[in-house]
């Protein structure tokens, strides 16, 4: 079977234990956990039994090896992860507001993952790649954007498809080149996986229907809008259907969107219908929020089927 691949940041995440906890004062923290949106995505693809690989850079430190060992354990091909001797692995500290919103302190731009560049993208590693996934959160430097463009060119050149989750963090929009890169990636996107608020950043139409039409006009073939605890909605030209979220206790929302996207894309690659793929993705997001830690809620088809049988 041909591979699904992605590229971008691998981090550890260290999280506050209480809602309302601030990082301006000492407090109890939990972690390090394996993390980074592309890493969570590819872990979920592998958990579904699909061949999966990630192009990334980590430092030669415990944070880097924690991630590599974890991804390997779940079946991800880590052969395209470079371990850089002179860099440290990225990190993110997360706090949760009382209303459920999250704030992040990222150490990404000075970490190993920021050293990712076109030289790390080689055609040989991408030879078996039938589908490439782009996380908008990975587009934080010119070098990375160039690397992403190179990977997309190779995969599209060999007849592959591309999915794109804008995954915009307000902390990152300050980086000017990121905004431009979002527009560029959109041109090559087959499956778009935005959150509700991201639709208005990608299209000029003020309403959902208009925004979706505009994006189809740019060549996007399928759009799945993630609505958190309100569920999700699928769009293809002339087609729209929504699903309510599966009621679960939300322990940690981080990673839900990444697991959701990975499951949708994998199911579509496996030839499942949009309807069935959305059901599996919805279940995958629900299982992700039920576990503390960004990558701790990834799941296989057995767990997804068990949850869907109950709901």
Total residues contacting ligand ATP (rule CB under 6 A)?
A: 21
Strand partners, 191: 163, 222
**CB closer to ligand ATP, 25 vs 309:** 309
Side by side, which strands form the sheet with 102-107? 29-35, 11-19, 90-96, 102-107
CB of 226 to Mg ion, least distance (A): 7
**Interface with ligand ATP includes 205 (CB under 6 A)?**
no
b (16+ CB within 10 A) / e for 190-206: bbbbbbeebbeebbeee
Q: Which of 38, 59, 160, 253 binds ligand ATP (CB under 6 A)?
A: 253
Distance of CA 245 to the CA centre of its chain: 19
Distance separating alpha carbons of residues 208 and 62, to the nearest angstrom: 44
Q: Of these partners, Mg ion, ligand ATP, none, which one is at the site of residue 228 (CB under 5 to 8 Å by kind)? A: ligand ATP
Restricted to residues 277-306, the positions that interact with ligand ATP (CB under 6 A) are 282, 285-286, 289
Side by side, which strands form the sheet with 129-135? 81-84, 52-59, 3-7, 129-135, 161-165, 191-192, 222-226, 232-236, 239-243
**CB closer to ligand ATP, 23 vs 291:** 291
Distance separating alpha carbons of residues 130 and 270, to the nearest angstrom: 12
Both tokens of 96, joined, read 């949760």
Q: Which of 44, 78, 115, 167 binds Mg ion (CB under 5 A)?
A: 167
Pairing of strands 3-7, 129-135: parallel
CB of 277 to ligand ATP, least distance (A): 12
CB atoms closer than 10 angstroms to residue 124:
7
Q: Which of 54, 113, 215, 232 binds ligand ATP (CB under 6 A)?
A: 232
Q: Of these partners, ligand ATP, Mg ion, none, which one is at the site of residue 260 (CB under 5 to 8 Å by kind)? A: ligand ATP
**CB closer to ligand ATP, 125 vs 168:** 168
The interface region with ligand ATP, picked from 78-86, 89-97, 171-179, 244-252 by CB under 6 A, is 244-252
Restricted to residues 160-199, the positions that interact with ligand ATP (CB under 6 A) are 167, 195
Distance separating alpha carbons of residues 207 and 230, to the nearest angstrom: 18
**Interface with ligand ATP includes 66 (CB under 6 A)?**
no
3-class DSSP state of 282 = helix
**Interface with ligand ATP includes 133 (CB under 6 A)?**
no
Count the residues in the chain: 311
Residues near Mg ion, by CB under 5 A? 167, 257
Residues near ligand ATP, by CB under 6 A? 167, 195, 226-229, 231-232, 245-246, 248, 250, 253-254, 256-257, 260, 282, 285-286, 289
């Amino acid at each position: 079977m041909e591979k699904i691949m992605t590229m971008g940041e691998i981090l550890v995440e260290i999280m506050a234990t209480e809602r309302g906890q601030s990082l301006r004062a000492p407090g109890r923290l939990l972690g390090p956990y394996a993390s980074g949106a592309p890493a969570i995505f590819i872990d979920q693809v592998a958990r579904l039994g699909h061949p999966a690989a990630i192009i990334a850079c980590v430092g030669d430190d415990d944070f880097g090896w924690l991630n590599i060992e974890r991804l390997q354990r779940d079946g991800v091909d880590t052969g395209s992860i470079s371990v850089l001797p002179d860099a440290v692995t990225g990190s993110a500290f997360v706090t949760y507001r009382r209303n459920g919103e999250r704030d992040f302190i990222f150490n990404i731009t000075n970490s190993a993952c920021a050293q990712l560049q076109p030289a790390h993208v080689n055609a040989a590693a991408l030879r078996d790649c039938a589908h490439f996934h782009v996380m908008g959160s990975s587009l934080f430097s010119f070098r990375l954007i160039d690397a992403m463009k190179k990977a997309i060119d190779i995969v599209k050149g060999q007849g592959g498809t591309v999915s794109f989750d804008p995954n915009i963090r307000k902390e990152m929009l300050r980086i000017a080149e990121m905004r431009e890169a979002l527009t560029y990636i959109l041109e090559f996107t087959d499956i778009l996986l935005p959150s509700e608020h991201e639709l208005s950043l990608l299209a000029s139409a003020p309403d959902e229907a208009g925004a979706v039409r505009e994006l189809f006009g740019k060549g996007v073939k399928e759009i799945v809008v993630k609505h958190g605890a309100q569920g999700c909605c699928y769009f293809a030209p002339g087609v729209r259907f929504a699903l309510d979220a599966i009621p679960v206790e939300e322990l940690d929302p981080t990673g839900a969107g990444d697991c959701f996207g990975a499951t949708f894309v994998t199911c579509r690659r496996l030839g499942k219908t949009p309807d069935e793929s959305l059901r599996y993705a919805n279940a995958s997001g629900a299982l992700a929020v039920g576990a503390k830690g960004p990558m701790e809620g990834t799941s296989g088809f057995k767990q997804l089927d068990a949850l869907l049988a109950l709901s």
